[in-house]
Structure 1
Amino acid sequence: MSTPAATVPDLLDYDEVLERFDPVLGLEVHVELNTLTKMFCGCPTEFGAPPNSQVCPICLGMPGSLPVVNGKAVESAIRIGLALGCDIAEWCRFARKNYFYPDMPKNFQISQYDEPIAISGEVELEVEGQTFKIGIERAHMEEDTGKSTHVGVTGRIHGAEYSIVDYNRAGIPLIEIVTKPIEGTGALAPQVARAYVAHLRDLMRALDVSDVRMEQGSLRCDANVSLRPLGETAYGLRTETKNVNSLRSVERAVRYEMCRQGALLAAGGKVMQETRHWHEDTGITTPGRSKEQAEDYRYFPEPDLVPVAPSRKWVEELGTTLPEPPAQHRKRLFEAWGFTEMEFRDVIGAGALLLVEATVAAGATPAAARKWWLGELARRAKETEVELDALSITPAQVAEIQALVDAGKINDKLAREVFDGVLAGEGSPEEVVAARGLAVVSDDSALGAAVDRAIEANPDVAEKIRGGKVAAAGALIGAVMKEMRGQADAGRVRELILERLGAE
């Protein structure tokens, strides 16, 4: 029997979509805060704990249990709002958002509705040389839900043999950041969506309010997409692709929905306003449920929590703790690193700005840091379909590998094998070099013997070098490097060749 993920609808060619329609985006990003305890109780928030081991009557919604607001979460929410250029409310309160789902132990979610803590901000992005201003509608506090796992072929509730629920995540503090409608992006809509989420990820990391590990779900994006005929101003019906958890997938999901909706509209059909599921393996979306309106959630003020009223003095004090503004940060790094505009743009586009910065801070040159992150490591991330920062290697380890190259202990070729070992969990770069026997050989006796064999095997090349054609030494160097599996000190090999052939 076919599954929903196997049904691929007709798609309109992307260029044809742009010839006929104007995309409008709306992005909702959920950020799990890195507080030690949950939003309304004292349960720990450690990721990966045994299922249902971090729960209590409050986060399980037991009758008679009373929530208490996590002060650190409120502080983080205010700092996030300020960093987004938002106005911070003098008075706000929580509401109950009512809907039934197995991972909601209370059958309602404590969130904020018409009175959020932060409103009316703006983010400025540069994508492929164009500047886009993304309006922030609101940033509000809420609690996360539990995690349902549907066991079966589809991995979805439909067709599952059975489902299990882990409530450890229920109650973890969340900040939901909601944009205003994003218009005028045209052909760059998918890239703008990706760049916006990447911007938020970097900003949250700089604020130190979340580990923003998208692969673990601590930063997730709901991507709203609609199309309208060119020249019209009214918005089309939108879909909301839920819980997209990688930058690459955000871009792919937006592009896919544009092509899918374009095919429907071009054929005279109608887009259903609904949530949709993103399938990483097939690169398509499938229907979820009809999208509820606000009234369907039956919001009402949370009776067990007092309003939150941050003093202006406290807000001002928190404003002094903000990191360097992103635009100023990028400008400073661009001037310090000496990259061309294209090189710097590539670093930003790859989502590697903070990785390169941390690698430079650990001792590597900007050029070396860029080389590894945008070359060898970007290739490995693409092969494994993960983001760069999800690779199991740290900027400090990348800088350590470069330091080994600079010290002549390994060369670039051997460095790639060191990356293999570190990514495989074999230890630090030094430990991998030792365990795999990757150190460059610079011992004259071993090198000299290999040089003699290369000269003997290539008499015509040796004669050219004796005759003054020093450039021909490259062939002998290559022969020695091949014999020694790339572990010879190429500089010393060259010196020995010239000494033996009297061509110094």
Structure 2
Amino acid sequence: MTALDAPEILDYDDVLAKYDPVLGMEVHVELGTNTKMFCGCPTAFGAEPNTQVCPVCLGLPGALPVVNQAAVESAVRIGLALNCSITPWGRFARKNYFYPDQPKNYQISQYDEPIAHDGFLDVQLDDGTTWRVDIERAHMEEDTGKSLHVGGATGRIHGASHSLLDYNRAGVPLVEIVTKPITGAGERAPEVARAYVTALRDLLRALEVSDVRMDQGSLRCDANVSLMRKEATEFGTRTETKNVNSLKSVEVAVRYEMRRQGAVLEAGGEIVQETRHFQEADGTTSPGRRKETAEDYRYFPEPDLEPVAPDAEWVEELRATLPELPWLRRGRIQEQWGVSDEVMRDVVNAGALELILATVEAGAPADAARSWWVAYLSQQANTRGVELAELPITPAQVAEVVALVAARTLTNSNARKAVDGVLAGEGGVAAVVEARELATATDDGAVAQAVAEVVAANPDIVAKIKDGKTKAAGALVGQVMKATKGKADPARVNELVLEACAG
């Protein structure tokens, strides 16, 4: 029976009853250097196609590569942060294969002498437990170009009428981080995969070696998945799901592939060693190409480059530049704020931590800054379908709104209207407050008149208040706030309502 004869997927619990999942994560990180790995071409994202190329990155005859020192430095810092040993002497190699977006028909990479090897990364799962992921290697290489498939419905080559090639990305510095087999995770394997990529992204961002934008391809994850029967001693055949471009999708792709492979095996089929494409629309994977082995690439030492030999003293100097680990920093901040693990997870999951810290630095109390970013602004980001940091409002502007609320210049309701105005592009906070006439009314006479009218119109509620049921005043306060278009100070209104009812 072939894989095509098998049911599409198996129930997740049925998979776990008979099989143990084995994972291997390969993460490609585009380094944030100004120039490419082996030439002086710029690396800026989004330039017009084929405007950031030269004879070296196009692989033209006679063009010779030169190693980017800044890329080597970033690679060493990544290796150190992953608790790896740094190779004292290593060569680049040629990885030979033909693909249209690889102009030389080989990729300059590292094979048996990676810049860093044998490390680990401790990652935190959703319930707070820690899982250690062992790192096999981190090696330097150059990125490929990009194929743009035109005329199809999916943007993939299948169904396209023709393809275009953009070599701007060819030669951009990459570090590929490869884990050792991740075993023993059982039902939590998809969660472990997501937690690992999340922690790795946070670490790389803290190192400031990459912008780690998965949506732009500067962080790309390949998830290797295989199943082995409970009684087996050897790993099963693996598949490699390529270029999964979000943290949630990493988890979804691993879970789906476990269920798909389980269905194939239970139907008597065999798993094909292949690459697979993740479909964002429905969370499935589809076949790509048969997966090569290392021997197929015919590696041999790159003859045009000197070996990389990081000096031990220089390595230790770089070790001293490593920042506080993101999870340790989060723990310290959580203790300062005095919030629970659940609250801190909400902050991190919303992508709000740095925004909150910047808002606090701009003068806002931490609890107010946290409330704005995690609650109201997160809702606005979800509505717009953008990341929180992409909202057109700055931490300084949020701090300005918080200060106006604290000074009773804005009510909470009108503060949200002020933020809405900033998000709508109506100007800064002060301009929006003035244009929308949101400032709190300071004329007690006008507010008192509104209170008198509301009290006169609601004798039944006034009677309840006089009987000691002061909570009933909330209904009158709401009416006064409506009458003053939300511009009155609610606390002052409450005082005036109680005074009027007592009189």
The one-letter code sitting in structure 2 at the alignment partner of 1:157 is I
1:148 aligns with 2:147: yes
Q: Which residue of 2 aligns with 1:47?
A: 45
**Aligned-pair distance for 1:22?**
1.6
Contact residue 77 and residue 140 of structure 1 kept, 8 A: yes
Contact residue 210 and residue 218 of structure 1 kept, 8 A: yes
Q: Which residue of 2 aligns with 1:5?
A: none
Root-mean-square deviation (CA), in Å? 2.6
Please give the per-residue CA displacement for 1:467-486, whole angstroms capped at 9, x wherever unaligned: 44322110111223344554
Q: Which residue of 2 aligns with 1:136?
A: 135
**Aligned-pair distance for 1:192?**
1.6
Q: Which residue of 2 aligns with 1:291?
A: 291
Q: Which residue of 2 aligns with 1:375?
A: 375
**Aligned-pair distance for 1:351?**
5.2
Relative distance call for 1:374 and 1:163 in structure 2 (3 A) is: same
SS of corresponding position for 2:324:
coil
Quick one: distance in 2 between partners of 1:172 and 1:480?
A: 62
**Aligned-pair distance for 1:27?**
0.9
SS of corresponding position for 1:90:
coil
Out of 101-110 and 352-361, give the one that drifted further.
352-361
Contact residue 410 and residue 487 of structure 1 kept, 8 A: yes
**Aligned-pair distance for 1:442?**
4.5
Q: Which residue of 1 aligns with 2:30?
A: 32
**Where does 1:50-449 land on structure 2 (aligned, <5 Å)?**
50-127=48-125, 128-151=127-150, 152-348=152-348, 352-382=352-382, 388-389=388-389, 394-424=394-424, 426-449=426-449
The one-letter code sitting in structure 2 at the alignment partner of 1:235 is F
The one-letter code sitting in structure 1 at the alignment partner of 2:132 is K
Quick one: distance in 1 between partners of 2:128 and 2:466?
A: 54
Out of 340-349 and 99-108, give the one that drifted further.
340-349
Please give the per-residue CA displacement for 1:230-276, whole angstroms capped at 9, x wherever unaligned: 34332121111111111121122112212222222222222221111
Contact residue 195 and residue 349 of structure 1 kept, 8 A: no
The one-letter code sitting in structure 1 at the alignment partner of 2:23 is L
TM-score by length of 1: 0.90
Out of 401-410 and 147-156, give the one that drifted further.
401-410
Quick one: distance in 2 between partners of 1:233 and 1:335?
A: 45
Relative distance call for 1:433 and 1:89 in structure 2 (3 A) is: farther
Contact residue 442 and residue 492 of structure 1 kept, 8 A: no
TM-score by length of 2: 0.90
Quick one: distance in 1 between partners of 2:273 and 2:41?
A: 37
Quick one: distance in 1 between partners of 2:7 and 2:381?
A: 29
SS of corresponding position for 2:268:
coil
The one-letter code sitting in structure 2 at the alignment partner of 1:148 is S
Contact residue 227 and residue 261 of structure 1 kept, 8 A: yes
Contact residue 190 and residue 252 of structure 1 kept, 8 A: yes
SS of corresponding position for 2:275:
strand
Quick one: distance in 2 between partners of 1:439 and 1:240?
A: 58
SS of corresponding position for 1:193:
helix
**Aligned-pair distance for 1:113?**
1.1
SS of corresponding position for 1:22:
strand
Please give the per-residue CA displacement for 1:341-376, whole angstroms capped at 9, x wherever unaligned: 333344445555444444444444443344344433
Relative distance call for 1:455 and 1:276 in structure 2 (3 A) is: same
Quick one: distance in 2 between partners of 1:15 and 1:436?
A: 56
Relative distance call for 1:468 and 1:168 in structure 2 (3 A) is: same
Relative distance call for 1:481 and 1:98 in structure 2 (3 A) is: farther
Relative distance call for 1:390 and 1:216 in structure 2 (3 A) is: farther
Contact residue 139 and residue 178 of structure 1 kept, 8 A: yes
Relative distance call for 1:339 and 1:40 in structure 2 (3 A) is: same
1:14 aligns with 2:47: no
The one-letter code sitting in structure 2 at the alignment partner of 1:143 is E
Quick one: distance in 2 between partners of 1:394 and 1:200?
A: 27
The one-letter code sitting in structure 1 at the alignment partner of 2:14 is E
Quick one: distance in 2 between partners of 1:32 and 1:202?
A: 15
Relative distance call for 1:290 and 1:358 in structure 2 (3 A) is: farther
**Aligned-pair distance for 1:408?**
3.0
Relative distance call for 1:325 and 1:437 in structure 2 (3 A) is: same
The one-letter code sitting in structure 2 at the alignment partner of 1:45 is T
Contact residue 27 and residue 222 of structure 2 kept, 8 A: yes
Quick one: distance in 2 between partners of 1:339 and 1:58?
A: 53
Quick one: distance in 2 between partners of 1:392 and 1:273?
A: 46
Contact residue 411 and residue 490 of structure 2 kept, 8 A: no
Contact residue 202 and residue 354 of structure 1 kept, 8 A: no
Mark the runs of 5 or more structure 2 residues left unpaired by the alignment: 1-5
Contact residue 455 and residue 500 of structure 2 kept, 8 A: no
Out of 295-304 and 85-94, give the one that drifted further.
295-304
Quick one: distance in 1 between partners of 2:384 and 2:259?
A: 26
Contact residue 69 and residue 305 of structure 1 kept, 8 A: yes
Relative distance call for 1:17 and 1:47 in structure 2 (3 A) is: same
SS of corresponding position for 2:72:
helix
**Aligned-pair distance for 1:333?**
2.2
Relative distance call for 1:94 and 1:266 in structure 2 (3 A) is: same
**Aligned-pair distance for 1:153?**
1.2
Relative distance call for 1:280 and 1:68 in structure 2 (3 A) is: same
The one-letter code sitting in structure 2 at the alignment partner of 1:137 is E
Out of 233-242 and 377-386, give the one that drifted further.
377-386
Out of 285-294 and 339-348, give the one that drifted further.
339-348
Out of 274-283 and 405-414, give the one that drifted further.
405-414
The one-letter code sitting in structure 1 at the alignment partner of 2:277 is H
**Aligned-pair distance for 1:79?**
0.7
Relative distance call for 1:318 and 1:435 in structure 2 (3 A) is: farther
Relative distance call for 1:248 and 1:352 in structure 2 (3 A) is: farther
**Aligned-pair distance for 1:487?**
4.5
The one-letter code sitting in structure 1 at the alignment partner of 2:459 is P
Relative distance call for 1:167 and 1:434 in structure 2 (3 A) is: farther
Relative distance call for 1:187 and 1:419 in structure 2 (3 A) is: farther
Number of aligned residue pairs: 496
SS of corresponding position for 1:169:
coil
Contact residue 120 and residue 136 of structure 1 kept, 8 A: yes
**Aligned-pair distance for 1:463?**
2.8
